[in-house]
């Protein structure tokens, strides 16, 4: 069984709202729109200290009572963290006690990634190991290997986001999703893959990410749009 907080992902896919600008207001709006889980993007919030991060998490939890994922994304994976890698990892570890899951990149250095994974597992938190390719959709075999590498790195959920150049690329990602034997989150980004944010859940993707205001990833749909369609399909 895989859960994020109290949300059981074995029963249905979750709509995750990305929290970036005006975080407390956005989190409240996300709950009204129907979000199941919140992803707090510390790299987009210009929060660099554990004190400020913990205060924000407590405020958001009090206001929404929704499970939270902590993400502090590397620039090379589409994030905006500009301080040191050591500070990035230290922040994630320091706030684990207050969140329900943590997202760490597969491309992060093995030593620092292992620190986050082991700290999260010791704290009983769900681990998402993620990989993003903003330039292409790799071959099916390579995508399957990436997901396997995420699980080998300690993922409870392997997240793979890729950029399609054709509808065949989108179909290939859906095939990879269906073939996975463990919990995955798969996304085909951009306008060409926009529909994958809905239908990937029909093939086994356990998370789909939506926006409240401005999208934080290419092709991201709004939370209430995702929620409405998923309730019709699943």
Closest CA to 100 of 5, 3, 185: 5
- Own/partner pairs, 175-182, CB within 8 angstroms, 24+ separation: 175/140, 176/140, 176/143, 176/144, 176/147, 177/203, 177/204, 177/205, 178/203, 178/204, 179/144, 180/144, 180/147, 180/204, 182/147, 182/151, 182/158
Domain chopping of the chain, boundaries: 9-129+193-228
Q: What is the pLDDT of residues 111-167, one digit of tens each?
A: 999 999 999 999 999 999 999 999 999 999 999 999 999 999 999 999 999 999 999
Q: What is the pLDDT of residues 3-49, one digit of tens each?
A: 999 999 999 999 999 998 899 999 999 999 999 999 999 999 989 89
Q: What is the per-residue pLDDT for 168?
A: 98
Distance, CA of 180 to CA of 174 (rounded, Å)? 10
Tokens of 156: 């409870």
Q: What is the pLDDT of residues 74-84, one digit of tens each?
A: 988 888 888 89
Tokens of 188: 């085909």
For 9-129+193-228, CATH number out of 3.40.50.620, 3.20.20.70, 3.65.10.10, 3.30.1300.10 equals: 3.20.20.70
Residues noted as catalytic: 132, 159
Q: What is the per-residue pLDDT for 215?
A: 66
Q: What's the CA angle centered on 84, arms 82 and 89, to 5 degrees?
A: 105
Q: What is the pLDDT of residues 157-209, one digit of tens each?
A: 999 999 999 999 999 999 999 999 999 999 999 999 999 999 999 999 999 99
Give residues with Cβ within 8 angstroms of 225, minimum separation 6. Answer: 210
């Amino acid at each position: 069984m895989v859960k994020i907080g109290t949300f059981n992902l074995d029963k249905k896919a979750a709509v995750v709202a990305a929290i970036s600008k005006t975080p407390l207001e956005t989190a409240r709006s996300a709950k009204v729109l129907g979000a199941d889980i919140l992803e707090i993007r510390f790299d987009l919030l210009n929060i660099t200290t554990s004190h400020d991060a913990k205060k924000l998490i407590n405020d958001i939890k009090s206001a929404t009572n929704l499970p939270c994922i902590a993400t502090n994304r590397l620039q090379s994976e589409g994030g905006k963290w500009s301080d040191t890698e050591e500070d990035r990892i230290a922040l994630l570890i320091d706030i684990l006690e207050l969140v329900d899951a943590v997202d760490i990149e597969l491309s992060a250095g093995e030593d620092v990634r292992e620190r986050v994974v082991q700290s999260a597992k010791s704290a009983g938190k769900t681990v998402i190991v993620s990989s993003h390719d903003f330039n292409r959709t790799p071959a099916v075999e390579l995508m399957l290997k990436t997901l396997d590498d995420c699980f080998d790195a300690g993922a409870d959920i392997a997240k793979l986001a890729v950029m399609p150049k054709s509808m065949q690329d989108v179909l290939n990602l859906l095939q990879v999703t269906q073939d996975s034997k463990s919990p995955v989150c798969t996304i085909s980004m951009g306008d060409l893959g926009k529909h994958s944010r809905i239908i990937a859940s029909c093939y086994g993707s356990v998370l789909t990410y939506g926006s409240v205001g401005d999208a934080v990833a290419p092709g991201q749909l709004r939370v209430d749009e995702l929620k409405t369609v998923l309730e019709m399909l699943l």
